[in-house]
Amino acid sequence: MNSQTESPVQTVICLKWGTRYGSDYVNRLYGMVKRNTERPLRLVCFTDDSDGIQEGIEIKPMPPFDLPEKMRSHPFRRMFIFAEQLNDLQGTVLHLDLDLVVTGSIDKLFNFNPDSRFITIENWTQKGQGIGNMSVFRYRIGELTEVWERFRPDPMAMMNLYHNSQTFVCRTLGDVDFYPANWCLSFKHSLVPKWPLNFLVSPKLPEETKIIAFTGQPDINEAIRGEWPVSSNWKKLYKHVRPSPWLADHWR
């Protein structure tokens, strides 16, 4: 980021479509980022349903759905954010998923490695492969158009080739940067103790952590209560989590 050309306002964007996450997730995200910045903040939510989203959050329309039906609920749908123009947004933005908990300063997420075109979290299950987990990423509007230009002519071809959007984006860009590993953690991959300690020890929050991402299950409210829904009885032998009530102190 060029301090001479960037706005002093830090812009955070999120996307909400479908019914998986309600407006309460957007409102909580707004509360979390407001408490964890010392700078002017702009939170922009791209959504197809703004009902219940609180005042102070800017609402922008999701583009009309004209993708293959298979992509209606798939993360590939968010590729429009890499087009040359994104509504009236300009400059650097920080994208945050709705299913995460902010526990520390987001200012450092804007400051770190300011010249990076694209910076994200190294995916916890693909270490060393150059693949990010796009729960959290920062980029400049209109500077990663190669992603959109490659995706838009044949979306299904890209989905069939890469299967998930984060692999597609990272392979298309070729060279991505990562935040320090302890800044952005996965609840289930990073914080839940390994079996069998997960039956005895509750997850704890590391001091330097700024974001906790919730991929798959458990959801945030389940993690607070110490519940891990499983689809079969044998998974109950190892998929277990003790309550993490401290999450509720941040997720508000």
At 64-121, the pLDDT tens digits run 999 999 999 999 999 999 999 999 999 999 999 999 999 999 999 999 999 999 999 9
**Phi first, then psi: what are they for 30, rounded to 5°?**
-60, -45
Q: Based on the domain organization, do 124 and 188 belong to the same domain?
A: no
- pLDDT at 3 exceeding the cut of 80: no
Q: What distances in angstroms separate CA 64 from CA 13, 73, 147, one per listed residue?
A: 18, 14, 19
Tokens of residue 230, six digits: 């499983």
Q: Based on the domain organization, do 189 and 105 belong to the same domain?
A: no
Please provide the distance, in angstroms rounded to a whole number, between the alpha carbons at the two ends of the chain: 30
CA distance 194 to 2: 43
Q: Based on the domain organization, do 243 and 163 belong to the same domain?
A: no
Q: Based on the domain organization, do 23 and 144 belong to the same domain?
A: yes
Let me know: does 27 contact 53? Beta carbons within 8 Å. yes
Q: Is residue 119 part of a domain?
A: yes
Q: Identify the three-state secondary structure at position 147.
A: helix
pLDDT of residue 245: 97
Q: Based on the domain organization, do 107 and 41 belong to the same domain?
A: yes
Q: What is the pTM of this model?
A: 0.94
CA distance 72 to 75: 9
Exposure class string for 77-109: b at 16+ Cβ within 10 A, else e: bbbebbbeebeebebbbbbbbbbbbbbbbbeeb
- What's the pLDDT tens digit per position in 120-150? 999 999 999 999 999 999 999 999 999 999 9
Q: What distances in angstroms separate CA 73 from CA 15, 18, 65, 77, 94, one per listed residue?
A: 12, 7, 11, 7, 22
Q: Is residue 193 part of a domain?
A: yes
pLDDT of residue 6: 66
Q: Based on the domain organization, do 99 and 52 belong to the same domain?
A: yes
Identity at 88, one-letter amino acid code? D
- State the DSSP string of 173-241: H---EE--TTTEEEIIIIISPPTTGGGT------TT--EEE--SSS-HHHHHHT----SSGGGGGT---
pLDDT of residue 5: 54
- What's the pLDDT tens digit per position in 191-244? 999 999 999 999 999 999 999 999 989 999 999 999 999 878 888 888 999 999
Q: Based on the domain organization, do 84 and 173 belong to the same domain?
A: yes
- Residue 145 is classified by DSSP as H
The CATH number of residue 163's host domain is 3.90.550.10
- What's the pLDDT tens digit per position in 172-195? 999 899 999 999 999 999 999 999
Domain that holds residue 102: 10-178
Q: Based on the domain organization, do 152 and 48 belong to the same domain?
A: yes
- Residue 81 is classified by DSSP as G
Q: Based on the domain organization, do 218 and 112 belong to the same domain?
A: no
pLDDT of residue 235: 84
Q: Based on the domain organization, do 87 and 50 belong to the same domain?
A: yes
- Residue 134 is classified by DSSP as E
For the chain, what is the domain count? 2
Q: Is 221 left (phi over 0), alpha (psi -120 to 50) or beta?
A: alpha
- Model confidence at 58, in pLDDT bands (50, 70, 90)? very high
Q: Based on the domain organization, do 194 and 171 belong to the same domain?
A: no
Instruction: Compute the mean pLDDT over every residue in the chain, rounded to the nearest whole number.
Output: 95
Which of 128, 145, 178 represents a domain boundary (last residue)? 178
Tokens of residue 23, six digits: 């407006």
Provide mean pLDDT across the span 19-44. 97
